[in-house]
Structure 1
């Protein structure tokens, strides 16, 4: 996954390096263009000579023939230079030396000075401190190569360039941090707005007032897509609701006519088919209603609802020849904020599923924990872990021989989503399935 912040940081850093390099190059080019060529060459020659000057304690003044100085001597037929400490003199090509602008004192110290003379008789005149002595270096006629000139410029500009680089780097780092922070803040705001969109009505609610112009096409496209999705969902819900309403009356009429048939075997087969169709239509209608309206919530006791649902299902439990046990653990008076009809429907669906898949003469275990969690466990064949995520999809039945509509767990899933809770399908040691509903808990009420 590509990080926008990292990519932006890398690109801005590279841009800063390019700009800094261009700035240093421009400064060097400007200095080379504006400098008098002869004065520049003499200045570089003076620096090369100064690198070789030494005067050990108690010894005479020396000028080492460095590689740079030897190169200049070979390439400069008009070169001359003079080095003096006021007592001794080291001179090269004195016959080429013109008259100096100041007298060289051989009997005492000379004041610190630096002088550059351009023109035909260009020369460089420096007074430097070396080994505790004040030394005069004068030269002219030098023709150093471009490698020495560039090296001199780079060395002379090393500390200013370093200072500029540090300041420029800090400015670039600050600009990068501010840019990344600004972009991240805008993206975070858009992500928060997207997270607040209701899945049941995903209208285009992404903000456009403070969205950067670069992100506006994406935001506009997402808003349009969300509006289209919401419209399609609304059309689908109306279709399911209308179909369910339209089918209920013909099924009721058909059931009455089937009950009047004289053939018992045919009547039983048709009654089973009509019952299954009626279950599917009722489930579709329940899903459509669940998605098309806001549920009114109120404080409820999950323990009491579970007991009431089991009492209502007592005839169905007896017909199946099964036993149902209710256990209540933890705080029994805890409250949940919920819609009672849909919570009852969710528990009833789970108990009905357990009755369909439990073994004969078995016990269905219903457990309420701390007034916010309810588990319905059976001892059937169970559901493989790899198949559990698909069990809440519409029309996905637990077995091919199931008589259900395949919508029960879908309804339970959507009911829990409307309550901000969860439906979890778990295995059971020794075989069977545990369906767990977890509601957001509320404070206990006396």
Structure 2
């Protein structure tokens, strides 16, 4: 996965290096263009000569460095003279012209560079420098150093300033990269937080555009448009489901009356089973439609009290199917949650109904409330394979093709928990079976 911060850092760094290298190249090009060739060659030659000068008790000595030897062999008109006032080292004296100036060595300490003769072939270079307390004169002319030596000379001359400039430039580039990456990351993070806060039940185009950078506006507008279209499609589907459920209630009631009038007992029982299943589907669809289209009122609710009331209401159904049911409480029994009591009752009723439908002979269902905000319904039935659990909350997904249910029970429970910002978990029951756990947020902090 590509990191935007890393890509931006690398590209800005490479851009900075390229700009710096281009600046150095521009300085060198400007120098080579504006500098007189003869003066430039003499300057480089003088520097190379100075590198070979050293002092001893007997006077000045000249070490012939490889660079100096290279210049001597390539320069037939080269001459130079080096003096500290006591001794002189001279090369090709017969080529040296008369010096046009007199530099007194007994005067004040000075360090200077002088060019005489303009930029023509007769240009001379005088360098006066101080070395170990002594003043040394280096005069030269006629040198023809190669471009490699000239380039090294200039790179060495600008090494100090270039290092300082590169250090400052690097700090500025690093600061700019850090601020740029931080700004872009912050903008994307705010957009992601805004997207995460959108209610999945009403995904309208709510991504902020007021402070969004111009570069991100096309993406933001496209996402807002897509969210508006999704929300519109969801509204159409909800209205359709609600209308269908309402329209089917009257025909189903009439059908039930006519089924009761069928003389054949076997046919009447089969038709009654089908009508009951259709009635269950329609009732579940109505529940889902109301859940999605209605703003649920919340109030403090004690989960253990609601569980007892629902079990009392369902006791005849449970006992009529030959199933044992038990209620257990653990932890804080006085704790309340912020919830809609009617939908919590519907969720628990759907879970118990599911447990009854998939129960085996002489099964036991345990309803357990833990710490006032955790509700569990455990059975010892056939259980649900772990790979199928994520699909069980999808509409019309039944555990068995022969199940009499509508496949909407867990879907309703899932949507009820989403409305409460809670969590639904499907787990194994110890010893076999399935446990469905509902986790409700705390009243104070909203945490689970």
**Fold-level match, TM-score > 0.5?**
yes
Any conservation in 2 of the 1:324–1:365 contact (CA below 8 Å)? Answer: yes
For 1:99, the equivalent position in structure 2 comes to 98
Q: Matches of 1:107 and 1:173 in 2, distance apart?
A: 53
Q: Matches of 1:385 and 1:255 in 2, distance apart?
A: 39
Q: Matches of 2:250 and 2:321 in 1, distance apart?
A: 29
Q: Matches of 1:382 and 1:106 in 2, distance apart?
A: 108
Taking a change above 3 Å as real, the CA distance of residues 299 and 80 of structure 1, as seen in their structure-2 partners, is same
Taking a change above 3 Å as real, the CA distance of residues 110 and 6 of structure 1, as seen in their structure-2 partners, is closer
Q: Give the drift of 1:74.
A: 1.5
Unaligned runs of 5+ in 1: none
Q: Give the secondary-structure state (helix, strand or coil) at the position aligned to 1:61.
A: strand
For 2:238, the equivalent position in structure 1 comes to 237
Q: Deviations along 1:359-392, whole A, 9 cap, x unmatched?
A: 2222211110011001100001111111111111
For 1:34, the equivalent position in structure 2 comes to 34
Q: Matches of 1:112 and 1:421 in 2, distance apart?
A: 84
Any conservation in 1 of the 2:75–2:142 contact (CA below 8 Å)? Answer: yes
Q: Give the secondary-structure state (helix, strand or coil) at the position aligned to 1:215.
A: helix
Any conservation in 2 of the 1:84–1:90 contact (CA below 8 Å)? Answer: yes
For 2:316, the equivalent position in structure 1 comes to 315
Query: After the TM superposition, which segments of 4 or more aligned residues of structure 1 sit over 4 Å from their partners?
Result: 104-111
For 1:223, the equivalent position in structure 2 comes to 224
TM-score normalised to structure 1 length: 0.96
Q: Matches of 1:323 and 1:257 in 2, distance apart?
A: 35
For 1:355, the equivalent position in structure 2 comes to 356
Q: Give the drift of 1:211.
A: 1.4
Q: Matches of 2:223 and 2:318 in 1, distance apart?
A: 50
Q: Give the drift of 1:285.
A: 1.1
Q: Matches of 1:391 and 1:107 in 2, distance apart?
A: 105
Taking a change above 3 Å as real, the CA distance of residues 318 and 107 of structure 1, as seen in their structure-2 partners, is closer
For 1:122, the equivalent position in structure 2 comes to 123
For 1:10, the equivalent position in structure 2 comes to 10
Range that drifts further, 282-291 or 97-106? 97-106
Alignment map for 1:155-170 (pairs within 5 Å): 155-170=156-171
Any conservation in 2 of the 1:87–1:108 contact (CA below 8 Å)? Answer: no
Alignment map for 1:255-274 (pairs within 5 Å): 255-274=256-275
Alignment map for 1:33-432 (pairs within 5 Å): 33-56=33-56, 58-103=57-102, 111-117=110-116, 118-120=118-120, 121-432=122-433
Q: Matches of 1:181 and 1:110 in 2, distance apart?
A: 56
Q: Give the drift of 1:349.
A: 0.6
Q: Matches of 1:346 and 1:3 in 2, distance apart?
A: 43
Q: Matches of 2:119 and 2:435 in 1, distance apart?
A: 101
TM-score normalised to structure 2 length: 0.96
Q: Matches of 2:323 and 2:250 in 1, distance apart?
A: 33
For 1:21, the equivalent position in structure 2 comes to 21
RMSD: 1.6
Q: Give the secondary-structure state (helix, strand or coil) at the position aligned to 1:403.
A: coil
Q: Matches of 2:103 and 2:289 in 1, distance apart?
A: 108
Q: Deviations along 1:99-119, whole A, 9 cap, x unmatched?
A: 324435688997433212223
Q: Give the secondary-structure state (helix, strand or coil) at the position aligned to 1:115.
A: strand
Q: Matches of 1:105 and 1:417 in 2, distance apart?
A: 98
Range that drifts further, 130-139 or 357-366? 130-139
Any conservation in 2 of the 1:86–1:110 contact (CA below 8 Å)? Answer: no
Q: Deviations along 1:162-188, whole A, 9 cap, x unmatched?
A: 111111111111211221122122212
Any conservation in 2 of the 1:80–1:94 contact (CA below 8 Å)? Answer: yes
Q: Matches of 2:108 and 2:54 in 1, distance apart?
A: 17
Taking a change above 3 Å as real, the CA distance of residues 63 and 249 of structure 1, as seen in their structure-2 partners, is same
Taking a change above 3 Å as real, the CA distance of residues 75 and 238 of structure 1, as seen in their structure-2 partners, is same
Any conservation in 1 of the 2:337–2:443 contact (CA below 8 Å)? Answer: yes
Any conservation in 1 of the 2:378–2:435 contact (CA below 8 Å)? Answer: yes
Unaligned runs of 5+ in 2: none
Q: Matches of 1:374 and 1:382 in 2, distance apart?
A: 18
Taking a change above 3 Å as real, the CA distance of residues 82 and 269 of structure 1, as seen in their structure-2 partners, is same
